[in-house]
Copies of this chain bind each other. A is one copy, B any other.
Amino acid sequence: MFKVTFQLEGAGTVDAYAQEDENLLNVAQKSNVAIDAPCSGNGMCGKCKVRLVSGELDSKKTRHITEEEYAEGWRLACCSHITGDVTVEVPDIASAYRSRMKVADLSSRQEVELFENTKKQIEDAGILLKNSMSVLEIQMSEPTLDDTMPDNERFEWAVEEATGLEHVRIPYSVLHKMAHVFRENHFHVQCVVRKTSRDVFVYDILPADKKPVIGGLAVDIGTTTVSAILMNMETGEILAKASSGNGQIRYGADVINRIIESQKPGGGRRLQKAVITETINPLIDEMCRSIQFPREQIYRMAVAGNTTMNHLLMGVDADPIRMEPYIPTFFKTNSLFASDIGIHIHPDAHIIVAPNIGSYVGGDITAGAFVSLIWNRPEMSLFIDLGTNGELVFGNSDFLMSCACSAGPAFEGGDISCGMRATDGAIEACTIDKDTMEPHFSVIGDEGTKPVGICGSGIIDIIAELFTCGIINAKGKFVREGERIRHDKYGMGSYVLAFEKDAGSVKDVEITEVDIDNFIRAKGAIFSAIRTMLKSLDFTVDMIDDVYVAGGIGSGINMRNAVNIGMFPDIPVEKFHYIGNSSLTGAYSMLLSTQAERKVYDVARNMTYLELSTVPSYMDEFVGACFLPHTDSEMFPSVHLK
């Protein structure tokens, strides 16, 4: 056995013992040392860098470590093996995660507009904007020697009077503070209650002098990114909004790797902790801090996530999802409370979860399909959610069919060397001059913001432009030469969008053939899924009336370019509508409206699921779609080179 010492940046050291030849990443994970490893240790992502301080490692050289970095001791943990006692320095993943958290600036119209539109649209669809939460003002007479009714009975009676309901449920948390709150406020209080047809549940009692805001928390748990909003349950107003990387990323980029990790000893607990303690709770804290909102005044939470995310959130065994016969533990769940899983809001807050409909079509899709309103229209519509998994729903008010494909994190900037989410510094749109091959791009942020990386919509534009300018061929390989086109010693081509001197980062912002290849596989997965699902219903792409595109790819998505690269079918661009993060707006709707919540369950119940892997032609479709725009160019008559 050899001794391995991990020096954690800003957090002391951890000693571990390892066999000769053991993998350093595995040793770290066994010892609960957090190292960012979105690709699960396949050597692909290059994120698991550690620095050798003393001793030796048997480390493979990879393109992710430059010569200078190697000389400084940087190694990829997943490509390093133990050969003796060794000490390595581990960058602080927690601060990396914190720094990735972003609280939205709600003074920007754009941030709020999405929710206002959602609210308006579902109301227009005939959904009543009313939920079960409300504030009751209760004025009781103060007890005297002649009126000796105890506080609890006095209060129960007053709530019965005020609501006309006979069953009043007063939980321990309220009973516990009742004597104090009543006396401090002369038996005049504001109560936060949930009313159903048969009972009233009292969440809280508060001083009468100020009407409390009933906080609601909607969370979209994406495999890569977690987004949340804090809302006023009575008005639907957005109070705060934030997002951050999903803390589970260090255990693998996709759901399969997360499930595998969850099966290791203590793994389920670790993944639950990563998403709750390290992701959702900090998001709540940040949002509440930013507007000085007490987190105990968040009384209800709605979650939309894919089936695996929902299982891991609840610490429920997710392994059956990936093992034949692919049975999730639950589609729906009732009776889940914040205190059950340690969400830092009011402990009695109900957590409602948008229902899953299959192992690979989860609550993010049922919530999103609800918000797209495709279930409410006679026209044939296609709903596409571009996340780490791509999911599709096709149908109308008569039927709905769904399917899922694994697209990887490319749409959110993952698996792309200069990829990033659609935040400040991201190239979000781009054109390239056919002759000079010079790019012209727009960068998210204030005017003059220098480019740092490329977000999903930017990558679509860049690949489409490189292709239509004839700079890359249908296979995504560079076929022209120029100042911005380079080849490394392995022969891999790349296109530089911004040289280091013009970039906001310390290196060139570029796109490589590996990036393009990753992206082509992602878009190929989406297009072949669309084709396969439509074919199974005897539909063709020209029968699609509308396409609703959702996901974190960014509102800047250029639908023309998405057609040009063969990601979406070649139908008129007017038919495409970008609806933003519909998983989050779906969760928002479920909080805002009890009818909406029920409707999400109806949508889920009425949706059939097509398992693509059981359709023999799917693989052929996929292979055919892994070209620009497609091996069968007749499918894309409107796509022309410049």
Where the two chains meet, the residues of A that have a C-beta atom closer than 8 Å to any C-beta of B are 143-145, 147-153, 169-173, 175-176, 178-180, 183, 314-317, 319-320, 324-337, 339-341, 356, 358
CB-CB < 8 A to A171: which residues of B?
335-336, 340
Task: State the copy count for this chain.
Answer: 2
| Chain B residues within 8 Å of A151, by CB | 320, 327-330
Give chain B residues whose Cβ lies under 8 Å from the Cβ of A320.
151, 179, 183
Query: Contacts A170-B334, A334-B169 given: A175-B143 contact, CB under 8 Å?
Result: no
Structural contact, A153 and B337, CB atoms closer than 8 A: no
A179 surroundings in chain B (CB, below 8 A): 316-317, 319-320, 329
B148 touches A341 (CB 8 A): no
The answer to whether A172 touches B317, judged by C-beta atoms less than 8 angstroms apart, is no
Sorted nearest first, the 7 A-B pairs with minimum C-beta distance are A152-B330, A179-B317, A172-B340, A145-B325, A143-B327, A179-B329, A150-B328
Chain B residues near A319: list those with CB within 8 A.
179
**How far is A170 from B332 in the complex, measured between Cα atoms in Å?**
11
Set of chain B residues within 8 Å of A329, measured between Cβ atoms: 150-152, 175, 178-179
Report how far A364 CA is from B19 CA in the complex, Å. 64
Q: For the complex, what is the distance from the CA of A328 to the CA of B152, rounded to whole Å?
A: 9
What residue of chain B has the Cβ atom nearest to residue A182's Cβ?
Answer: B329
Instruction: Collect the chain B residues with CB atoms within 8 Å of residue A340's CB.
Output: 171-173
CB-CB under 8 A for A175 and B314, given A170-B335, A332-B152, A335-B170: yes
Q: Is the CB of A330 within 8 A of B150?
A: yes
| Closest Cβ neighbor of A337 among chain B residues | B172
Instruction: Check A153 against B332 for contact (C-beta < 8 Å).
Output: yes
Nearest B-chain residue to A172, judged by Cβ: B340
- Tell whether, in the assembled complex, residue A314 and residue B172 are in contact, meaning their CB atoms are under 8 Å apart: yes
Whether the pair A153, B330 counts as a contact (CB closer than 8 A) is yes
Q: CA A336 – CA B173 in complex, angstroms?
A: 9
CA separation between A448 and B370, bound complex, in Å? 82
User: Cβ of A172 and Cβ of B330 under 8 Å apart?
Assistant: no
CA distance A176 to B316 in the complex (A): 5
**Closest residue on chain B to residue A307 by CB atoms:** B150
In the assembled complex, which residues on chain B have CB atoms less than 8 Å from the CB atom of A317?
A: 179-180
Nearest residue (CB) in B for A324 is B145
Contacts of A341 in B (CB 8 A): 172
Measured between alpha carbons, how far is A183 from B150 in the docked complex, in Å? Answer: 50
CB distance from A369 to the nearest CB of B (A): 19
